[in-house]
């Protein structure tokens, strides 16, 4: 026996729910942009390939030139097995100054800085990033002593003339046995948002103990050998300074200047987060730096995008209630 079922009559009318309800689609989660991650890393990791040619995002239309400076020098101990050098971004001079004297583990920086090669006819400059690689060049059987690393906060006139190399009155620090110093990488920290401000060369006037050369927004880094081999070149120090410069039209290089990347508030905020919260000293080389910075960049960008999506979803919910 077959059972017949009664078909519902199609009235051609929509259901009351579909007729009266308006559906507001919530935004889908946005994937992390490769370009955004690369830009964050290029600003916060001075050792990555993208740091060469990197520029800050800007609201303005001023054209500028990315100008990377890369060099190295050695640090030689004195008759007591000590040595110290102070590093910081400097456009007019080489970005370091050796300790004039070392006594009772106190480094005195009273000498004049050495003029360095730089582009001519530059009107204004700003530092994008700076990093230092420290390597022991002492024979393993002769290796002794400690490499003391001290990073300092904002510039204060005259505060770098005399510094104890074992001090903990600093912004960040690390002590590494010289025989373990295969490659220690240090990122100089931005100390405040003024690091992004353009500076004239006249603002970097004094050559004595770096005073006047240390730009607002960046601190200084002191690297010392304590208890090392006597009167011996002990450390190879390699530095990377990534500048952004504005060149006067009297220099032909002005013709190759380009505009800065367009300002993106989310990416810019992520850069600030990574710069202010990330580590600055890495004892296992540049690969450790790259992996860590990428992880921090992804975390900062994901957090900001999630917050953005939450705000959009909340606004969509309010819109839905108003429509209903």
Helix (H) or strand (E) holding 311: helix 286-323
- The average pLDDT across 60-71 equals 90
Distance CA 113, CA 182 (A): 28
- Name the average pLDDT for the chain: 83
List Cα–Cα distances, 69 to 93, 100, 135, 209, in angstroms. Answer: 12, 25, 19, 21
Say if CB 188 and CB 89 are below 8 A apart.
yes
Task: Please give the Cα distance from 242 to 247 (Å, whole number).
Answer: 16
Q: What is the mean pLDDT of residues 178-197?
A: 90
Q: In what helix (H) or strand (E) does residue 174 lie, and over which residues does it extend?
A: strand 172-177
Say which residue, 7 or 34, is predicted with more confidence. 34
For residue 240, what are the contacts with CB-CB under 8 A and spacing of at least 6? 46, 47, 51, 68, 69, 70, 129, 130, 131, 132, 133
Task: Spell out the residues 6+ positions from residue 187 whose beta carbon is closer than 8 angstroms to its own.
Answer: 44, 45, 46, 129, 130, 131, 278, 280, 281, 289
Reduce the DSSP state of residue 188 to 3 states and report it. coil
Contact in structure between 72 and 237 (CB atoms under 8 Å): yes
pLDDT at position 215 is: 73
Query: For residues 125 and 198, is the Cβ–Cβ distance under 8 A?
Result: yes
- Averaged pLDDT, 282-291: 91
Instruction: Judge whether residue 301 has pLDDT over 60.
Output: yes
Tokens of 22: 């308006």
Confidence of residue 280 (pLDDT cuts 50, 70, 90): very high
- Classify 203 as helix, strand or coil: helix
18-32, 122-136, 145-159, 227-241, range with the lowest pLDDT: 18-32
CATH number at 62-261+273-283: 2.60.120.20
Which among 69, 66, 57, 92 is positioned nearest to 253, based on CA atoms? 66
The pLDDT tens digits for 25-58 are 545 545 568 888 999 999 999 999 999 999 999 8
Give the CB-side neighbour count of residue 320, counting CA atoms within 13 A: 12
163 forms beta bridges with 107
207-222 pLDDT per residue, tens:
655 655 677 788 889 9
Alpha-carbon distance of 135 to 236, in angstroms, equals 5
Q: What is the pLDDT of residue 11?
A: 52
Asked if the model's pLDDT at residue 163 lies above 70, the reply is yes
Domain boundaries, the chain: 62-261+273-283
| Residue 126: per-residue pLDDT | 92
- Is 0.85 topped by the overall pTM? no
Which helix (H) or strand (E) segment holds residue 149: the answer is strand 146-151
Cα–Cα distance for residue pair 147/228, rounded to 1 Å: 9
Angle between helices 34-44 and 265-277 (to 10 degrees): 40
Least confident of 51-55, 116-120, 162-166, 313-317: 313-317
- Cα separation, 136 vs 146, whole angstroms: 11
Residue 194 DSSP code: G
Question: Mean pLDDT throughout 248-263?
Answer: 91
């Amino acid at each position: 026996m077959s059972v017949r079922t009664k078909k519902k009559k199609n009235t051609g009318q929509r259901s009351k729910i579909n007729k009266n309800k308006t559906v507001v689609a919530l935004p889908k989660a946005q994937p992390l942009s490769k370009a955004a991650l690369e830009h964050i890393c290029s600003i916060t990791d001075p050792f990555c390939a993208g740091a060469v040619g990197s520029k800050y995002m800007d609201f303005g239309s001023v054209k500028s030139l990315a100008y990377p400076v890369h060099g190295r020098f050695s640090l030689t101990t004195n008759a007591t097995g000590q040595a110290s050098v102070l590093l910081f971004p400097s456009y007019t001079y080489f970005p370091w100054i050796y300790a004039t004297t070392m006594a009772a583990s106190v480094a005195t920086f009273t000498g004049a800085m050495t003029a360095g090669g730089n582009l001519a006819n530059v009107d204004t400059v700003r530092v994008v990033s700076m990093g230092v690689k420290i390597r022991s060049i002492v024979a393993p059987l002769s290796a002794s002593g400690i490499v003391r690393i001290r990073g300092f906060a904002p510039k204060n006139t005259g505060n770098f003339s005399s510094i104890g190399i074992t001090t903990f009155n600093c912004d960040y620090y690390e002590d590494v046995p010289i025989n373990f110093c295969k490659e220690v990488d240090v990122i100089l920290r931005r100390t405040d948002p003024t690091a992004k401000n353009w500076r004239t060369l006249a603002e970097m006037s004094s050559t004595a103990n770096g005073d006047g050369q240390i730009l607002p927004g960046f601190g200084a880094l002191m690297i010392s050998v304590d208890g090392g081999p006597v009167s011996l070149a002990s450390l190879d120090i390699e530095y990377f300074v990534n500048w952004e410069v504005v060149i006067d039209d009297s220099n032909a290089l002005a013709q190759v200047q380009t505009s800065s990347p367009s300002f993106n508030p989310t990416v810019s905020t992520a850069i600030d987060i990574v710069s202010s919260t990330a580590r600055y000293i890495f004892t296992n080389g540049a690969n450790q730096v790259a992996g860590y910075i990428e992880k921090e960049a992804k975390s900062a960008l994901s957090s900001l995008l999630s917050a953005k999506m939450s705000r959009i979803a909340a606004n969509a919910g309010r819109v839905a209630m108003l429509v209903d």
